[in-house]
A and B are shown apart, each in its own frame.
Chain A
């Protein structure tokens, strides 16, 4: 049984009497401990898909099963990192993480929650910033706190909606490597199941086991591609190999052939 099973998911929106289909009959599955990226141009419904996984949206048709159980709304089995820094501005970094821990672990004492918060803030390299409010932190730091919170909640599934989309290039690279390192761990423990939405092909290759490429109008799955690189991965080494470039080019041509199909074939020069 797959960890997550997405079955015939369809989402229609009605806006000013115009009906449009954000997702049309989307089905695929994700195995336990798998890191899956969903990639596609804007409007392909990748964020809609994730919002249904989060439990914030409900589908018009179809369902999502986690461990064989259909999901009904939000749940403590899923941790979420949004693109917008989802921290609560009135809580310090530490309180933000501890608040997340409290929601999944009601039994933990206050001291215990704060200890867990400290542990994960250390992991994301924010030892010095625990007592700062989000407004005192840069975007990259806020996203580190959000990642620390999602990890500290210790959920089976981690949902990440373009988490590095609003972060400058240099910090994005650093955060990708941090995420990779935290997720891969030392290779002995069980890895979390991650669903990661992005529009950055390099990011998707670096992080994922599988890439689900989506296409717009209506949002459908275009291709599912296994990423053939061993772990633990190292960006520096990986990008220099011929296989990497070949794989990357293959993905890019798929990505653009889809767009070319849409806007009329040969006239598009890539």
Chain B
């Protein structure tokens, strides 16, 4: 990459624009914490420059820079609409500095809530995968040999997991265990269905190749069927992850004393929209982060595909 391609980019112009609009005098609302955003943006800009210098693939740099440009654009629009020209209702739309300052203040509390939500999700999610994948391999294999397993799982999987909540509450002692249970179910069915359909769609030639090597049934399931159906399993896992987040945050809004859903609901009940916005952003970041990790794992495990 040429120096020009590396450093001459719109994102840096946006950075300058952001700094320049700080010179406009504040209107009615005064963003007393504007310094937070300015430092944040300077930090991001520094990071962008470092990344620009280190990154190797032009495509990755484009992607990174576009994301940063989006953040800058958002912050510019947000600053102008709130602190500078007061276009939006103050109580509902706090200026960015105030949100950031509140975030810094609430940092510990937010972390605890993230831990609580992510902990529940991981527990239910991983447990579901650990049970659904081997079971799906086994049922898929016997369904190939002609059994009713497919129809049974289609029926059970068609029930939206959220309707298990009342029963779960009756069955289980704590909010946490009910949440884990519901997330378990929300993940279990799509992963089971994905695994089964994966196994049932493994090409006959792959199975024949394994059969003539005289593999044991265990090897057939875990060394042949599992990798051969991995792509479909991941489709199920992905679906489970999305549904899990929807379910958990909804559940937390209804009955929890902790978690990100609780954080948002609790503060919006008190009319504290600064913290509500923080909650929304944090939920977004957490989901993006988890999806990112998830995609990395998927990419690594499927690296043999073209």
Binding site for B on A (CB under 8 A): 54-56, 74-76, 78-80, 82, 84, 86-91, 99-100, 103-104, 133-135, 153, 159
Contact = CB atoms under 8 A, between A and B. Distances in A.
Nearest to B205: A84
B223 A74 contact: no
Contacts of A103: 213-215, 219
A104 B213 CA distance: 8
Interface stretch (B75-83, B224-232, B284-292): B224-232
A74 B209 CA distance: 11
A104 B206 CA distance: 18
A86 B223 contact: no
A88 B205 contact: no
Nearest to B208: A56
A90 B304 contact: yes
7 contacts: A56-B211, A80-B209, A86-B205, A88-B206, A103-B214, A133-B303, A134-B304
Contacts of A135: 304-306
Interface in B41-80: none
A54 B211 CA distance: 9
A84 B206 CA distance: 10
A133 B214 contact: no
Interface string B272-306: 00000000000000000000000000000001111
Nearest to B301: A90
A137 to B, nearest CB: 11
Contact of A74 (B212, B227, B303, B305): B212
Given A90-B230, A99-B223, A135-B304, A76 B214 contact: yes
Given A82-B205, A135-B305, A99 B227 contact: no
Contacts, number: 55
A56 B212 CA distance: 7
Given A74-B212, A90-B228, 12 more contacts: A55-B211, A56-B208, A56-B212, A79-B212, A80-B209, A82-B205, A82-B208, A86-B209, A87-B209, A88-B209, A99-B223, A104-B214
A133 B212 contact: no
B275 to A, nearest CB: 47
B304 A99 contact: no
Contacts of A153: 213
Given A100-B213, A103-B214, A135-B305, A88 B224 contact: yes
A83 B52 CA distance: 49
Contacts of A80: 209, 212
A134 B223 CA distance: 16
A33 B212 CA distance: 21
Given A82-B208, A86-B208, A90-B227, A75 B214 contact: yes
Contacts of B215: 103
Give me the 5 closest cross-chain CB pairs, A-B, nearest first.
A86-B209, A80-B212, A90-B227, A133-B304, A103-B213
Most A Cβ at <10 Å: residue of B206, B223, B304, B306: B304
Contact of A99 (B206, B208, B212, B213): B213
Contacts of B305: 89, 135
Interface in B161-218: 205-206, 208-215
B305 to A, nearest CB: 7
B155 to A, nearest CB: 31
Most A Cβ at <10 Å: residue of B205, B209, B219: B209
A78 B228 CA distance: 24
A231 to B, nearest CB: 28
Contacts of B211: 55-56, 74
B290 to A, nearest CB: 25
Contact of B214 (A74, A88, A89, A91): A74
Contacts of A100: 213
Contacts of A84: 205
A263 B240 CA distance: 61
